[in-house]
Amino acid sequence: MAQAIAVARDGKRGRTSTAPTPADGDAQDGDRQFVTALARGLQVLRAFRDAAEMLGNREIAARTGLPKPTVSRLTHTLLTLGYLVHGEDGERYGLGPAVLALSAAFLRQNSFPQMAKPYLQDLATAVQAHVALGVLDGLSSVYVQLWRGQGQRITLSSEVGYRLPLARSAMGMATLAGMDEAQRAPLLARLRRDSGAGWPQLERTFLRCAREIAEHGYCVGVGVWHPDVNAVAAPIHSPGARGAFALNVSGPAFLLTEEVLRGDTGPKLIAAIGRMRALGIVD
């Protein structure tokens, strides 16, 4: 089975991880208000893909592209402020309690994930796949909530905090499609610049996904993020929520075939959104 898929049988889960996705570069040439040192510190925090992950300065430098001496100063500062903690070996770092405090503040401001929880848990169980709520962050969508089907035996190695690139995921395409033109244009400009020769294919994928969302409310991604993982995604809006959100249902390609996604999973996703809309949880 491919790297992206882990199999859980008889209550035992084996998990593998895929190669890390580099943090989104936020360099703002010519912006005199932009604080580069702060941006670099946030890049260090974004290098952690899992709450339990422990990284050394060398690994952080490799993930962020920052010089190792710079990383050493940043990790020292973040350690002092409580955003990082030392591992048992004293050489590696993990995320600290100050990061959790920021996450809690975000969730208090965006309470709809908690209100949506029973509907999305029911959806995950009905389709026996992962259901994730993601929010836009730079050129990625970041999982803020994740549900697995009760009794689900095949799982993907992703958790809350996992990042999916806008350019290579159904969730990313749905996030872009759900924005108004003023919000979307600068992101597409950055994707055009960063993708180079790959832009025509990326543009075709986005236009297809935008059409599917306009017609059906969801878009399908067949092997877009990983050749062995398929997904269906839909933009979602909630009154008072801050950020651009999307829902994603994903699973192994041999189970969630394109036929299943279009004929069963996608309609069930839209039905779940409809039930939440009827109660005013989402717009």
Its pTM surpasses 0.85:
no
The CATH number that applies at residue 188 is 3.30.450.40
Do residues 74 and 145 share a domain?
no
Could you tell me if residue 283 is inside a domain? no
Residues of 230-267 as b/e, b for ≥16 C-beta within 10 angstroms? bbbbbbbebeebebbbbbbbbbbbeebeeebbbeebbe
- Whether the pLDDT of residue 157 is over 70: the answer is no
Considering only CA atoms, which of 114, 161, 112 is closest in space to residue 140? 161
142 φ, ψ to 5°?
Answer: -110, 130
Do residues 126 and 37 share a domain?
no
Cβ-Cβ contacts under 8 Å for 162 (sequence gap 6 or more) = 49, 50, 132, 142, 143, 146
User: What is the per-residue pLDDT across 105-133, written as a single tens digit (0 to 9) for each?
Assistant: 665 565 677 788 899 999 999 999 999 99
- Counted domains in the chain: 2
For residue 45, the tally of other CB atoms under 10 A from its CB is 19
Instruction: Please report, rounded to a whole number, the percentage of residues in the chain having pLDDT higher than 70.
Output: 85
Considering only CA atoms, which of 101, 100, 106 is closest in space to residue 133? 106
| Spatial separation of the C-alpha atoms in residues 98 and 215, rounded to whole Å | 43
CB of 185 within 8 A of CB of 129?
A: no
Q: Give the pLDDT of residue 205.
A: 93
Do residues 130 and 226 share a domain?
yes
Domain end (from 52, 71, 103): 103
Q: What is the dihedral of CA 48, 53, 59, 61, to 10 degrees?
A: 20
Could you tell me if residue 147 is inside a domain? yes
Whole-Å CA distances, 241 to 68, 106, 113, 144: 38, 10, 10, 13
Do residues 117 and 99 share a domain?
no
Do residues 148 and 269 share a domain?
yes
Do residues 91 and 120 share a domain?
no
Q: Give the pLDDT of residue 107.
A: 59
Average pLDDT over every residue of 10-26 = 39
| Spatial separation of the C-alpha atoms in residues 55 and 185, rounded to whole Å | 35
User: What is the per-residue pLDDT across 38-91, written as a single tens digit (0 to 9) for each?
Assistant: 989 989 988 887 667 899 999 999 999 999 999 999 999 999 998 899 887 788
User: What is the per-residue pLDDT across 220-275, written as a single tens digit (0 to 9) for each?
Assistant: 999 888 899 999 999 998 877 778 899 999 999 999 999 999 999 999 999 999 99
Do residues 203 and 85 share a domain?
no
237's tokens:
């809006």
- Whether the pLDDT of residue 19 is over 90: the answer is no
| Spatial separation of the C-alpha atoms in residues 54 and 155, rounded to whole Å | 23
Domain end (from 54, 69, 103): 103
The length of the chain is 283
Average pLDDT over every residue of 194-217 = 94
DSSP-derived secondary structure letter, 85:
E
Pairing of strands 219-226, 163-165: unpaired
Do residues 91 and 180 share a domain?
no
Q: What range does the domain containing 31 cover?
A: 5-103
Domain end (from 80, 103, 126): 103
- Whether the pLDDT of residue 16 is over 80: the answer is no
Do residues 46 and 16 share a domain?
yes
